[in-house]
Structure 1
């Protein structure tokens, strides 16, 4: 019988990925856009390429950092969003959204 993949908590999966049946993706892992995942992915890993190559994530990628690295522009367009200047902007963004 066919079996789907198991995706644990806090996993980010890029668009156009292929994840083979029966694969387990460990928590807090990142799958790059277009990657083909053919084997189990340990927790806190980064997968890139065809076939997917697995690399460990940096040890200092704690939960707050994880959120800063994965903030989506769509998060900023929620009708009940707080004042944009009050948001916790990722340090790698050169300027705040909306500034000219």
Structure 2
């Protein structure tokens, strides 16, 4: 039991579990979106957590962390990215392309 408590004690917002717990608090989620995007949000509705999108068998699927919708029917995909690795072949960072791919599938 102490091992479990120690593991929990060391978790941060970068942990998938903690990120989802924190973002499931409406007040915190709204505040984060407002601060990051410099907009005002009256309310949000949680659409889905851990949503998988698999376009077809030839393309790579994705798993979205949290999707919320605001009072103006705008949808937000909340993701926690801890690393921005480089593609070993091109030496380019992968996060920008991954973000564009996620957006394309959402569109």
TM-score of the aligned structures, taking structure 2 as reference length? 0.27
Relative to its length, the structure with more helix (as a share) is: 2
TM-score of the aligned structures, taking structure 1 as reference length? 0.29
